[in-house]
Amino acid sequence: MSGMRTLGEFIVEKQADFPHASGDLSSLLSSIRLAAKIVNREINKAGLADIIGAVGTDNVQGEAQQKLDLYANEKFKAALEARDQVCGVASEEEDEAVAFNKALNQDAKYVVLMDPLDGSSNIDVNVAIGTIFSIYRRVSPIGTPPVEADFLQPGHKQVAAGYVIYGSSTMLVYTTGHGVNGFTYDPSLGTFCLSHENMMIPKKGTIYSINEGNYIRFPLGVKKYIKYCQENEPQDQRPYTSRYIGSLVADFHRNLLKGGIYLYPSTLSHPEGKLRLLYECNPMAFLIEQAGGLASDGQRRILDLVPTELHQRTPFFVGSSEMVNKVEEYLETYPDQ
Ligand code: AHG
Ligand code: MN
Ligand code: MN
């Protein structure tokens, strides 16, 4: 126990990495930590609420059964608004960016973009889900409401990014551009404790993660890459291993720890891919680069893409550097007709 460091202590300690830090970012990260605990509590009883709901006759459970992704959206928004470090948020659950109107919020210098509940199709089946967040310094003047340009910044401008994974244990993993650190939640203490210091993804891995049901609709280069994974034996007479949860956060987290690649390419029906650049791909790209890996849209570095729309999508290849390089090679060698 003596060496144990909590997330709160760590945030304060790391404030020294930023020479003129005012503590605003630390306070912002603390709001995220708080919202994560609240959402975690709700997720942990999601199954239970269903049992109770099924027994009851009338709809007294109505509020508890509010869709978890809307619940998470409200809790994160409320936590961010309450602490006055954020002037606005953009979220998967909101058509437009939300400006916080209080004067104190308008004096804030940060905006947050988020996917409040990632992997929603896994909520009902007790499989890991997550929250993804991305933080930028606003470009509009302090003291005014945020504008679209504050949210449409390229990923390399991110100040911090991270995710919460609500899994067999709950973890918060984040970066401020000085490496990646992971904290595991101890529910008995109500505290996140540093459990994964300075996380680095192996340069090569043996896991590939893709929804292979879409195989027929993949670009030729991706099909060839999958065949490469199936035909080669990187692990002593075993081909690469396929692992796909269907929650980006969970697939990413496993690959970060073990080495691997996550792919969501363009498909015939989704020519731009499925994942959203601003609140799914950019934060994960920032994290993976900080952990020594790569993130690409197949040709270009994700963090260099200049967004034009809040909810824009992009093909996404993220993980161990040698694996991402390999996919890029295949896409170049086998361009689609
Ligand atoms: P969300 O639940 O926020 O809508 O995100 C789901 C995303 C991502 O988490 C996951 O990796 C991917 O969609 C799964 O898509 P498929 O079901 O098409 O494989
Ligand atoms: Mn998502
Ligand atoms: Mn979502």
On average, the pLDDT of the chain sits at: 92
Cα 208 from Cα 229, distance rounded (Å): 8
Q: Is 239 near ligand 1, meaning CB less than 6 Å away?
A: no
Tell me which DSSP letter residue 277 carries. Answer: I
Q: Is 247 near ligand 1, meaning CB less than 6 Å away?
A: yes
Give the closest ligand to the alpha carbon of residue 92: 3
Residue 221 has pLDDT above 80, yes or no: yes
In DSSP terms, 132 is beta-bridged to: 115, 163
Just give the CATH number of 207-333. Answer: 3.40.190.80
Q: Is 214 near ligand 1, meaning CB less than 6 Å away?
A: no
pTM score, whole prediction: 0.95
Are 7-196 and 207-333 equal in CATH topology? Answer: no
| Residue 308: pLDDT band with limits 50, 70, 90 | very high
pLDDT at position 59 is 45
Cα 146 from Cα 33, distance rounded (Å): 24
Quote the strand ranges of the chain, DSSP E: 86-91, 98-99, 110-118, 129-137, 160-166, 170-175, 180-186, 191-196, 207-209, 241-242, 260-264, 294-296, 316-319
pLDDT at position 22 is 82
Is 236 marked as a binding-site residue? no
Residue 56 has pLDDT above 50, yes or no: no
Residue 314 has pLDDT above 70, yes or no: yes
What's the gap in Å between 104 CA and the centre of ligand 2? Answer: 30
Residue 157 has pLDDT above 60, yes or no: yes
Cα 249 from Cα 245, distance rounded (Å): 9
Residue-wise pLDDT tens digits, 67-109: 899 999 999 999 999 999 999 999 999 999 999 988 899 999 9
CATH topology assigned to domain 7-196: Fructose-1,6-Bisphosphatase; Chain A, domain 1 (3.30.540)
Residue-wise pLDDT tens digits, 160-204: 999 999 999 999 999 999 999 999 999 999 999 999 999 999 999
Domain ranges (residues) in the chain: 7-196, 207-333
| Three-state secondary-structure class, residue 74 | helix
Residue 248 has pLDDT above 60, yes or no: yes
